Amino acid sequence: MNSRHQYVELNDGRLIPGLGFGTYKPPEVPNSKTTEATKIAIETGYRHIDCAYAYQVEEEVGLAVRSKIADGTVKREDIFCTSKLWCTFHRPELVQSSLERSLKKFHFDYVDLYLIHYPFSMKPGEELFPKDENGKTIYDHVDLCAVWEAMEKCKDAGLAKSIGVSNFNRRQLEMILNKPGLKYKPVCNQVECHVYHNQRKLLDFCKSKNIVLVAYGALGTQRDKQWVDQSSPVLLDDPVLGALAKKHKRSPALIALRYQLQRGVVVLAQSLKENEIKENIQVFDFELTAEDMKELDGLNRNYRYLAAEFGADHPNYPFADEY
């Protein structure tokens, strides 16, 4: 099946598919599920695969992509694959070797997009979440501009075709953009973004700087017990989404995804279920009216499912600012 994607142009001239397949999964789900789901996604027409070192499924995602290349479904250049630099590898001398490690797991020569996963740094080492004896995160303090310079070197080395950031606020983006000797602007900022937290101000700022906003958690996250308050509202149960779903004869998930596309946001959809993976790509088959969009804008309550509390007392914690 041909991908019917709309593509969005990045500020480095490359194109990113407007819909991406997210590969984060809760720890209790076996990694093999990621391989199966990613294969289904590629067969269904997804061409944008979002991954990260911290998800610990780069091998499984690479396996799925390579098997779909081997069977002739796609070529490597058809796939837009993202990975992310984890907080324990921020020291400039660790950045490229961290990306090389990810590439080795994928069995790829390059990633299409490499992002700084969070703006705060943690103690270097093998632990994803280094903690002291009291269970407090052990931080590191690295200048974000120095991290960005190391990212630029990864692009120059051809290991990442495009580079960007994730979970940065406006102030942190401006710090990079105003950096003396800036060689490449971030192409995107990947952030939590959904109808309960529509990131209007950050989106307007990013658009003004020609930076694409990429939305994760667009369906209200997978409500992983480790990170998400289980008493938080279930996004897809929202009555407004439900009413619009009935009106358009679509699912609430498709309404939530379509909303983002029509705002010029690149949106990630995550699922391990074949029926949902196939349904989510139907986001290109209908359109919301201006009234629908206004109604969805009205749901915003600046509610964050994923507050990254493990970084809350670091000076670079991004979510203390308004946006």
pLDDT confidence of 222, banded at 50, 70, 90? low
Task: Indicate the annotated binding residues for substrate.
Answer: 117
Active site residue 139: no
The 10 Å CB-count burial string (b at 16+, else e) for 181-219 is eeebbbbbbbbbbbbbbbbeebbebbeeeebbbbbbbbb
Task: Indicate the annotated binding residues.
Answer: 117
Residue 99: both structure tokens together: 């990306």
Identify the active-site residue in 55, 118, 216, 305: 55
Instruction: Evaluate whether 184 touches 131 at the Cβ level (below 8 Å).
Output: no
Mean pLDDT is lowest, of 32-46, 149-163, 212-226, for 212-226
Domain ranges of the chain: 7-307
Distance CA 140, CA 94 (A): 13
- Residue of 140, 138, 150 whose CA lies nearest to 85: 150
Distant-in-sequence, close-in-space partners of 166: CB < 8 Å, separation ≥ 6: 84, 115, 116, 117, 118, 189, 190, 191, 214
Mean pLDDT is lowest, of 96-105, 160-169, 199-208, 219-228, for 219-228
Query: So what's the pLDDT on residue 231?
Result: 77
Q: What is this structure's pTM? A: 0.96
Distance CA 281, CA 289 (A): 19
pLDDT confidence of 4, banded at 50, 70, 90? low
Instruction: Flag whether pLDDT at 3 surpasses 90.
Output: no
Instruction: State the Cα torsion 23-26-27-31 to the nearest 10°.
Output: -40
- Kindly report, residue by residue over 130-165, the tens digit of the pLDDT: 999 999 999 999 999 999 999 999 999 999 999 999
Sign of CA dihedral 101, 265, 77, 25: positive
Sign of CA dihedral 232, 235, 237, 240: positive
For 7-307, the fitting CATH number among 3.40.50.300, 1.10.150.120, 3.20.20.100, 3.40.50.2300 is 3.20.20.100
- Kindly report, residue by residue over 224-234, the tens digit of the pLDDT: 777 777 778 88
Distance CA 80, CA 16 (A): 7
